[in-house]
Structures are given as structure tokens and as C-alpha cells.
């Protein structure tokens, strides 16, 4: 039996990572191919590939949107694609891997044609991978800090203020700790964008650039600029000094590269801080004003963004904006973002429950899981359904999410925590109204999705529609 390997990883390391791994395993099983898949999830690397695994493998499929160690695969045929392709085109990837038509990584030429998945990653995908590396490292700090701050509000919105009647020492301590965690958001984002580009040298200058962005008001936008500036500056310096004798390696890595890169990037970031901070402030004010003047328009925009790629860059743009406004004390914006993120999996779950005769047995089982994913704010559960018929399903998901977001803005619901789904209902100022908004959007979308499907021949589900992979 032919043996291949897989490596999967998504920015957040929660859903896409394991969905791609499962899809590759199922495709390999169907094609009678032995496979081992390493997952780079939120808790770290699982089922790590050993040296023996790599030596014995015919090919390695790397389906990742985050940085992983690629040097270990030098000299082996490697297919490198996005994690989305790992989910949607698993069978094609496995067939390509065993075809013998894959180029070898590390500059070694082969004498047969290049495979369909062997093209060089686009500039856009490379930039996206670097950006998402920063976002994936940033999100745990945002979630932990945001939830701690939100919990402190249980004692009162001014419970942190010693001059207020609501003051409580425990609440004040929780808010302080949560504030420290939230305060690391931009430095972490910037540092790990730079680290994705230039490894450890980038991490060093990235932290400095991110701290400047955070303290000068440049915020998220300044952090992104600083991350790419720091990463490519450090990478350029390392390459420029590559010809130095090996005895100067320690001096180069500890003194020369950090000193020059921090000085260069730091000065540029200080000069850019004013203009970038002004742009950042304008964006935040614009969104806050839109929330009051055009809640319906804002809800539609947020709903479409959150449901468009379900955990991808468009979804993350809305989510990160919500967390930034959350840090400024705006709890209305996040209510709509959370509702729009929660809606897609619940919409799928309701559709598979109500319209049982229109979904296969496997789809109905996946639908039940989506209740859990939706209740805990994990949008990615809807992806396998959307992937099978994107032009039909994604617009329905966007509609459902938009309805939920619009209702939360019209009702002026406040959600002070950046994540958690229904687990943080005690922190929501109008919990019943918020849940109803989500279920109204999900219910309308579920009806549309259910009727968009054809009835199956029997109650157990004809396999015409296939199974979820």
C-alpha cells in the first residue's frame, strides 16, 4: 500500500484544521492509500510526523493557512495548498500525491510533468498566511482578556472604579488582568506576522513595532503595517548578512540584526504613527456612527462578512473590528458580530432537523454537531455544507446572519465578551432578545435552505447528495 503524509493547519486551529485532516483520511481510505496526518491546532501539534514517516512517504500534502516547518520535507515531493482545498478537494489531492507527478521540494528537479496542485502559492495567499499567523496568535489573548473584563461587569459597569458605589475589589482585579491581556493584542499580532515572515529575527523587531503601534494609537492597522515592515526588514538583513563567516553567527543574530532592524523599523513606525492613528480613529468613529445612523445597513454588511467565508479573512476582519471596538467600550458592535458568526451553524442544524427527508444520514449527523458548534461561537461547522454547493448555500447563510445582526443592532443589544457564544449569556444585557435574534435569522435561513434541497427517495437518505467529508 502506498504511504503519503498530510499536514493541516488553519489560523485559529479549531475547525478547518481537523476538517481537512478528516477529509484527507477519508479520501485516502477510499483510494486504498495509507496516510498519516499531522494537525497544527490551537493546542499545538498532534500526530507529529517523524523522520521515519517522512523518509517512507511517497508524497506530503501540506494543506495549511499558517506557518509550519517545511524544511524537514526538503528532498521529498510536496503539494502545498490552502486548508480550504484540503477540505474541498481531498480526493484530488490524494490522487495527485500518488501519481508520481509532484515536484520535489528543495530545488531538486524531476523528469516528469508538474502536477495540478504544484503551482507556486500566489502573493495574496502568502500575505494572507502571514497575516493569519498573527491573528491566530492574537485571538486567545483577546478572548481571555475580553471575557475576564466582561465577567467583572457582573458586579456593575463601574465596579472597577474605587470612587463608585459599585466598586468591588474582585471585579477591579479581574478587569485589570483582562486589560493586560487585551493590551497585548496588537503587539502579539504584529510580532507573529513578522515571525511568519522572518522567524525569530522577525519576532524580535515585530514586538517592538507592535508596542509602538499600540502605544501611539495606530492600533490594528498600524500593527499590520508594522508586522510586514518588521518581517521583511529582518528577512532582508538576514539574507544580506548571509555571507559572513560562521564565527560571526552569534554576533549577527544577537547584536547586528536586532539592533539595525529595531532601529530602522522603530523610527519608521514612530513617523507613521500620527497618520495611521488618524486613519484608525476615523475608521472606528465611522463604524460607531454607522451603528447609530444605519443599523440595518451595518447589520447587512456584518452579516455578509461573517457568513461569507466562515472563519476566513473576511470573517476575521469583522471579528477583529468588533474586538477593537470592544476595547473602546463599544459593546453594541460585538453583539451583531457574534450573532452573525453563531447563525450559520445553527441555521444548518435547524435545516437538517426540520427537513430530514432532504438530507442524508451523514448530513443529519453533522447537523446535530452544528448545534454544539453554533452555541459555542464556532462558525466553521457550516463549511462542509457550503462547500458542496457554495453558490446556493453561502447567500442563504449570509441572509440569515444579516437578519440576526440587524435585529441585534435595532434592539441595541450589548455583548461585552468577544467569544463564547451562549456560554456568556449571563454577561449579555438582553440575553433573551439576543438569542431570539439569532434563532430568527437562523430559522428563516433554515427554511430557505431546506426548500432549496430536493427530497430524497427514502427516509434514510439517498446518497445522491453525497456525504459530508
Catalytic residues: 10
Tell me the C-alpha distance between 251 and 414, whole Å: 53
Locate 85 and state its grid cell: 482545498
Angle among Cα 89, 91, 93 to the nearest 5 degrees reads 70
Locate 120 and state its grid cell: 507556486
Q: Spell out the long-range contacts of 85-89 with Cβ–Cβ below 8 A and sequence spacing 24 or more.
A: 85/117, 86/6, 86/8, 86/20, 86/21, 86/23, 86/24, 86/61, 87/16, 87/19, 87/20, 87/23, 87/63, 87/383, 87/384, 87/387, 87/469, 88/23, 88/387
CB 292 within 8 A of CB 374: no
274 half-sphere exposure, CB direction, 13 A CA radius: 2
Total length of the chain: 469
Tell me the C-alpha distance between 434 and 424, whole Å: 12
Kindly tell me the sign of the dihedral angle through the C-alpha atoms of 352, 354, 355, 360: positive
CB 185 within 8 A of CB 142: yes
- Candidates 184, 140, 126; CA nearest to 42 is 140
Q: Which residue has the cell 514586538?
A: 207
DSSP code per residue over 368-380? HHHHHHHHTT-GG
Burial of 211 (0-12, 13-18, 19+ CB in 10 A): buried
Tell me the C-alpha distance between 14 and 380, whole Å: 9
Q: How far is CA 147 from CA 141, 218, 263, 286, in A?
A: 10, 24, 36, 26
- Candidates 382, 356, 360, 358; CA nearest to 369 is 382
Ramachandran angles phi, psi of 186, nearest 5° = -70, -45
State the DSSP code for 421. G
Amino acid at each position: 500500500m502506498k504511504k503519503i503524509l498530510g499536514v493541516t493547519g488553519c489560523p485559529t486551529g479549531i475547525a478547518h484544521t481537523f476538517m481537512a485532516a478528516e477529509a484527507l483520511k477519508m479520501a485516502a481510505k477510499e483510494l486504498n492509500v495509507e496516510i498519516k496526518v499531522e494537525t497544527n491546532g490551537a493546542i499545538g501539534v498532534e500526530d507529529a510526523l517523524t523522520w521515519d514517516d517522512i523518509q517512507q512517504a511517497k508524497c506530503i500534502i501540506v494543506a495549511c493557512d499558517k506557518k509550519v516547518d517545511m524544511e524537514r520535507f526538503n528532498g521529498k515531493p510536496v503539494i502545498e495548498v490552502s486548508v480550504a482545498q484540503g477540505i474541498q478537494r481531498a480526493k484530488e489531492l490524494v490522487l495527485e500525491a500518488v501519481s508520481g507527478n509532484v515536484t520535489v521540494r528543495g530545488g531538486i528537479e524531476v523528469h516528469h510533468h508538474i502536477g495540478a496542485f504544484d503551482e507556486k502559492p500566489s502573493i495574496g495567499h502568502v500575505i494572507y498566511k502571514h497575516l493569519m499567523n498573527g491573528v491566530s496568535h492574537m485571538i486567545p489573548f483577546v478572548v481571555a482578556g475580553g471575557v475576564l473584563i466582561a465577567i467583572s461587569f457582573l458586579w456593575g459597569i463601574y465596579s472597577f472604579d474605587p470612587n463608585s458605589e459599585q466598586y468591588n475589589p474582585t471585579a477591579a482585579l479581574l478587569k485589570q488582568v483582562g486589560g493586560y491581556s487585551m493590551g497585548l493584542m496588537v503587539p502579539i499580532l504584529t510580532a507573529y506576522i513578522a515571525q511568519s515572515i522572518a522567524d525569530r529575527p522577525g519576532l524580535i523587531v515585530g514586538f517592538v513595532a507592535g508596542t509602538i503601534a499600540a502605544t501611539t494609537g495606530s492600533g490594528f492597522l498600524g500593527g499590520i503595517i508594522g508586522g510586514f515592515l518588521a518581517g521583511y526588514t529582518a528577512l532582508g538583513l538576514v539574507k544580506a548578512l548571509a555571507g559572513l563567516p560562521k564565527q560571526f553567527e552569534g554576533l549577527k543574530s544577537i547584536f547586528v540584526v536586532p539592533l539595525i532592524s529595531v532601529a530602522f523599523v522603530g523610527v519608521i513606525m514612530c513617523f507613521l504613527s500620527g497618520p495611521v492613528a488618524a486613519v484608525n480613529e476615523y475608521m472606528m468613529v465611522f463604524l460607531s456612527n454607522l451603528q447609530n445612523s444605519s443599523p440595518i445597513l451595518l447589520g447587512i454588511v456584518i452579516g455578509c462578512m461573517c457568513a461569507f467565508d466562515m472563519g476566513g479573512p473576511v470573517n476575521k476582519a469583522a471579528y477583529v473590528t468588533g474586538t477593537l471596538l470592544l476595547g473602546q467600550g463599544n459593546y453594541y458592535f460585538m453583539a451583531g458580530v457574534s450573532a452573525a458568526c453563531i447563525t450559520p451553524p445553527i441555521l444548518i442544524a435547524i435545516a437538517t432537523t426540520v427537513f430530514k427527508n432532504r438530507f442524508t444520514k451523514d448530513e443529519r449527523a453533522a447537523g446535530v454537531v452544528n448545534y454544539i458548534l453554533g452555541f459555542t461561537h464556532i462558525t466553521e461547522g457550516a463549511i462542509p455544507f457550503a462547500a458542496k454547493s457554495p453558490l446556493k448555500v453561502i447567500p442563504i447563510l449570509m441572509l440569515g446572519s444579516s437578519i440576526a445582526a440587524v435585529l441585534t443592532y435595532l434592539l441595541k443589544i450589548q455583548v461585552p465578551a468577544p467569544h463564547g457564544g451562549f456560554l456568556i449569556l449571563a454577561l449579555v444585557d438582553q440575553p433573551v432578545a439576543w438569542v431570539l435574534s439569532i434563532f430568527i435569522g437562523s430559522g428563516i435561513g433554515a427554511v430557505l435552505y431546506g426548500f432549496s434541497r430536493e427530497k430524497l427517495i427514502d427516509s434514510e437518505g439517498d446518497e445522491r447528495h453525497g456525504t459530508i467529508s
